[in-house]
Structure 1
Amino acid sequence: MKLLLDAGNSRIKWQLRDGVSVVCAGVGQAESADLFNELDDELWARVESVAVCTVRSEIAREALEHAIGLYTRAPVRFFWTEPRFGDLVCAYEQPSTMGADRWCAMIAAWHAINSACVVIDAGSAITVDWISARGRHEGGYILPGRNLMLDSLSQKTARVLFQRGQDRTSLSPGRSTSECVLHGVNWLLRALAVELARDAAAPVLVTGGDGAYIKKALEESADPKLDVRLCPDLVIDGLAQVASH
């Protein structure tokens, strides 16, 4: 069996797969002691290899490799962005400078659509990438995600004081600083979806923690015929394909 990890800046999502079947899965904070709670000794003993897609620092990557080594002696391999994968070609002159999570998400999207599509990963950062009908990555955008925007306002402004609430949908003008901030972030994410809806003609595949919000906003803003899909496991699906190649 193969253990697959999508190691982001703030959380790690993982799946244990037997071929294409998911045996068990989990998600948690990167340094959390209970990250692998769902894996017992019997399952760890069946792990044959570990594949990791990460955007974390070298020190954090080494710490993660050490943490995995406490449970299994299976080889751990880190995968990075390459100039191409099959018919999919990276637009970057230096592909290694692209986050591996973006690349894995595009690989999974291309495998699913095999034609022009848009890939959105709405995590700590929001990435938007276009793939042509010929499998050419045409470039993309990187924007701060919800938590990065809130962190920036919290840490860089002395008098913008707010509490992080659960209101992730309201667009009404706020009547307190907290509402102004939280509704303002919703408004910006909605504006992103509106802009995408204006440009997108090909299927849109959405993943990441705020993927459901982006998908809903897209569906409300775009032509009803636009194919918008929420794909929570897009990065791990792509990683599985790369690791099996």
Structure 2
Amino acid sequence: MLLAIDVGNTNVVFAMFDGENMRTRWRIATDPRRTGDEYAVWLIQLMQIEGIERADVTAMIVSSVVPRTRHNLEVLAQKYFGVTPLFAGEGAAAWDFEIDVDEPRSLGADRAVNALAAHAKYPGDLIVIDFGTATTFDVVDSGGAYKGGIIAPGINLSLDALVNNTAKLPRIAIEAPRSNSVTGRNTEDQMLIGVFWGYVAMMEGLVARLKAEIGRPARVIATGGLAVLFGAHSDIFDEVDGDLTLQGLAMLARRAGAA
């Protein structure tokens, strides 16, 4: 089985693949100080609950935007599973598509993996929106080339900035407003309207500008933790594919002959 690991700024997601099928996944908060031994204690217990043995893991691939986690994940792979991990974009797992931007090496591994997976799954020109710590918009042409994109603050970052830099505003949960009215009658509703519908308006406006710039029909793919929430309140998404990054990692591992 393949262990695929997506290291983001907020969470690390572990997924087990049996061939092309994702059997299960788990999530833990990102902490660069977490050792390989600590990962192992947590992960192996969860594997046992799912009936997965350590010996079942025959390959591991990692996509990371947090360089300080690398060594500890290498320890996890080598000490507890006896495998040498692949890292997305390196060696046998190097990108096999064009990255047509000014500084190709600056492209985050997660965004490149999303581009790979989206092109493999969906036809035509694509706009891939990933809801993470930051919200990214990535443009992939019909030939699979990565053409560039946009980085915006994630909605939770926006809310944190609002709460942390004001004296009296309370912390609220990210959810859809209870009514369609955009005239809030209390502080909490006004904050939620501003954050939620403001974010929807930002997404819709940027997608419209990207489509105009592409000049051809483009399919919009949403992924990441909040994709489902926003997908229920905007018609800009053609597909909501929450596991796109993990699926891309599995594809990359298979191309490298590791799964």
- Shorter-chain TM band: 0.7 to 0.9
Offset from partner CA, 1:146-202 (integer Å, 9 cap, x none): 1111222233x1425212225334563334433333321102221023225535432
Query: Which residue type is aligned with residue 157 of structure 2?
Result: L
Q: Which residue of 2 aligns with 1:96?
A: 105
**Aligned 8 A contact 1:81 1:100 in 2:** no
Query: Which residue type is aligned with residue 159 of structure 1?
Result: A
Greater CA drift, 132-141 or 183-192: 132-141
Greater CA drift, 73-82 or 110-119: 73-82
Q: Which residue of 1 aligns with 2:229?
A: 213
Identify unmatched segments of 5+ residues in structure 1. Answer: none
Matches within 5 A, 1:74-93: 74-80=83-89, 85-86=95-96, 88-93=97-102
Higher helix fraction: Structure 1 or Structure 2? 2
Offset from partner CA, 1:52-87 (integer Å, 9 cap, x none): 10111x3233334445556322212221389x844x
Q: Which residue of 1 aligns with 2:191?
A: 181
**What is the number of residues matched between the two proteins?**
235
Helix, strand or coil at the partner of 1:38: helix
Q: Which residue of 2 aligns with 1:39?
A: 47
- CA–CA distance in 1 between the matches of 2:174 and 2:125? 35
Helix, strand or coil at the partner of 2:204: helix
Q: Which residue of 1 aligns with 2:9?
A: 9
**Aligned 8 A contact 1:127 1:140 in 2:** yes
- CA–CA distance in 1 between the matches of 2:231 and 2:218? 14
RMSD: 2.7
Helix, strand or coil at the partner of 1:138: strand
- CA–CA distance in 2 between the matches of 1:17 and 1:228? 26
Q: Which runs of 4+ in 1 moved over 6 A?
A: none
Q: CA offset at residue 133 of structure 1?
A: 2.2
TM-score (norm 2): 0.79
Seen in structure 2, the aligned counterparts of structure 1 residues 67 and 93 have a Cα distance that, compared at 3 Å, is same
**Aligned 8 A contact 1:16 1:24 in 2:** yes
Q: 176, 191, 200: which one pairs with 1:190?
A: 200
Q: Which residue of 2 aligns with 1:165?
A: 173
Q: Which residue of 2 aligns with 1:30?
A: 30
Identify unmatched segments of 5+ residues in structure 2. Answer: 32-38, 212-216
Q: Which residue of 1 aligns with 2:214?
A: none
TM-score (norm 1): 0.83
Q: Which residue of 1 aligns with 2:161?
A: 152
Q: Which residue of 2 aligns with 1:241?
A: 251
Query: Which residue type is aligned with residue 218 of structure 1?
Result: S
Q: CA offset at residue 145 of structure 1?
A: 0.9
Seen in structure 2, the aligned counterparts of structure 1 residues 98 and 186 have a Cα distance that, compared at 3 Å, is same
Greater CA drift, 7-16 or 127-136: 127-136
Offset from partner CA, 1:96-128 (integer Å, 9 cap, x none): 211111110110000112421111101111101
